[in-house]
A and B are shown apart, each in its own frame.
Chain A
């Protein structure tokens, strides 16, 4: 089947360009436009001058299947992702039970294929039960399709265990994703230490806990030569360590979640639990530093850190409430705030949100060049709307953006040339 997009503002993260033109798709992949007049396609989409970009590759989505299907299923997450312009969900291995054996892992692509309208690439746990004691069958898991290995928000405390897992992963070329956070210093904390947390009387942790853990991890990466990705860097204090590691040629990349780029610790206000995330929201200075690091490429990946939580687990005193926020549908409009604020260009944003995560995981997505899969999103970056959380397609509605004015609407999403969402 062939498909022609005309009159599009093409956002090409690879070329770093924004051009007006057409895009030719055949047999599920992007093809070079033949010279001369536009070819006849079976279907033509007039983009009306709106943005056409590679679909978002979201590294670190929590789908709560198996175990907590009432919070999010592959069907609901897939629909939300499609509506949010995400064409690949890279799923976390932290639903109960942990995805730590090939047998459990196989469930993910099977269920995803049946239920999800967007692509799903699973990650697997680095240690059994995510308990930080014994490494998982990294080889088997990789063969079964795991694109990366992570214990998610749990830190492998024992450096011997972690260094062996890194060494073993290296021999297989497997990517290890860690959550840099010193477990001792951050024990019991649910906010960032400082004037605000102290006034609210909430247990808090210094952002230094992130720096300390990143320093430790960088030493272990230097020692083992492993491929390493920090899931979320959220503090300015961590940036020099990251910059130094990259300069020294370590195979290191880093990500940041959308909430740390668009919200700060003050948004928690009077104990609003929808703003309780992990790591906790930081100061405005840190937020700005993260935006700058994303724009200059020090931070490679921007992701949603989509974490569904039901109403009950959030309707509790702040300390007891669950962490995390849903973000599949708000990732794009929230990220566009940075574009509208002039902090980053659309092609650069698209590197962080699509090209870089795809590259890091060895996926062919994230490009507009011929041969790339026709995973595409068409969106109007300026369309304003008021977010009502109950309109979200996720089963869980725990977004911190409820009631907020946002800009940027997805008009259409295609996966492999098939339309999976139409506004």
Chain B
């Protein structure tokens, strides 16, 4: 078995071979999703529950579609509106859902580590759809697939990740993944948005965007997460755009064929120039969304395989 994990909680515990296995499978789903009869029964009979304790449109839709295309019974719950408002703890919510025998649980939570905690208490496979500032593994995997399709490889690339690194789980998962695949990572942002100790992660850190973009193959922009700000990380949006917003002038410092990525949703005119985001020659932002569905299909298929293998191995 080249993908042995029980849950997909983060990139941290994945082996490079597992990452490659997953991306190879996802690649087949890219073609599958472009064909007209895009339905299979790989997950038929399995129940997938999406639990989102934090707002999400894109990720939730992507997971839902991925499950449906593979034939799972999918239910999405917006947890902000339900039981936590009544004082139920995360673990009780998890145990309640666990009693309904789901097979795949997709969870997003505003606190780092909350998905790990939940995974300890349930019998099904858990997919982390983002926990606090910790990890967002499927985002990193879809980014990797996008990069691999554009660049033909994941090793020996120079990837610049720009913006609010401190509050970004997307950045953490990408740093872990690209590091495992032996690419060179640069972090660019104002020092107030670079996490403490980031230099010890084996990355280069820049607060001058032009210097950081010099010779980059991939430019990954991050959303400036206004809702996460305590206030006071940057002086103003316009100064931020001036120094760290991606426009054609700054992008010229990267390689001529450098691609531009963004996990979405974008703040046009804050971290990225609107025209650049729509430039089909440079921006792969729409492709990232497409890869998202394929990667989530692959992730769920692999976890379901392991789930079935385990169920078969243990006598009833």
Contact = CB atoms under 8 A, between A and B. Distances in A.
B112 interface: yes
B111 interface: yes
Nearest to A190: B112
A218 to B, nearest CB: 26
Main secondary structure of the interface of A (DSSP, over half): loop
B198 interface: yes
B201 A195 contact: yes
Interface in B142-182: 166, 169, 172
B194 to A, nearest CB: 9
Interface string A194-225: 11111111101010000000000000000000
Given A199-B172, A200-B134, A270 B113 contact: yes
Contacts of A196: 197
Contacts of A316: 89-91, 117
A194 B197 contact: yes
Interface in B21-45: none
A317 B117 contact: yes
Interface string A70-101: 00000000000000000000000000000000
B91 A201 contact: no
B186 interface: no
A319 B114 CA distance: 9
A195 B113 contact: no
Contacts of A390: none
Contact of A315 (B89, B111, B133): B89
A316 B94 CA distance: 12
Contact of B197 (A197, A312, A317, A319): A197
Contacts of B195: 198
A319 B111 contact: yes
Interface in A134-192: 188
Interface residues of A, number: 22
Contacts, number: 72
Given A201-B172, A316-B90, A271 B196 contact: no
B223 interface: no
B131 A195 contact: no
Among B91, B113, B114, B131, the one with the most A-chain Cβ atoms within 10 Å of its Cβ is: B113
Among B90, B172, B195, B200, the one with the most A-chain Cβ atoms within 10 Å of its Cβ is: B195
A198 B113 contact: no
A317 B118 CA distance: 9
Interface in A309-334: 312, 315-320
B271 interface: no
A312 B90 CA distance: 11
B133 A271 contact: no
A193 interface: yes
A50 to B, nearest CB: 41
A58 to B, nearest CB: 31
A271 B116 CA distance: 8
A193 B169 CA distance: 17
B89 A195 contact: no
A270 B116 contact: yes
A270 to B, nearest CB: 5
Interface residues of B, number: 26
Nearest to A193: B196
Contact of B133 (A201, A270, A312): A201
A38 to B, nearest CB: 58
Contacts of B132: 201-202, 317, 319
B109 A317 contact: yes
A199 B117 contact: no
A108 to B, nearest CB: 32
B135 interface: yes
A413 B267 CA distance: 67
A42 B69 CA distance: 85
A206 B197 CA distance: 11
Nearest to A191: B112
A282 to B, nearest CB: 13
A362 to B, nearest CB: 42
Contacts of B135: 201
A320 B135 CA distance: 18
B90 A197 contact: no
A200 B112 contact: yes
Contact of A199 (B109, B114, B131, B201): B201
Interface string B107-146: 0010111101100000000000001111100000000000
Nearest to A268: B113
B228 to A, nearest CB: 11
23 contacts: A194-B196, A194-B200, A195-B200, A195-B201, A197-B197, A198-B196, A198-B197, A199-B172, A201-B172, A202-B112, A202-B133, A270-B113, A312-B89, A315-B89, A316-B91, A316-B117, A317-B111, A317-B117, A318-B111, A318-B112, A318-B113, A319-B112, A319-B132
Across the A-B interface, the 3 shortest Cβ-Cβ residue pairs: A271-B113, A201-B133, A195-B197
Interface of B: 12, 89-91, 109, 111-114, 116-117, 131-135, 166, 169, 172, 195-198, 200-201, 230
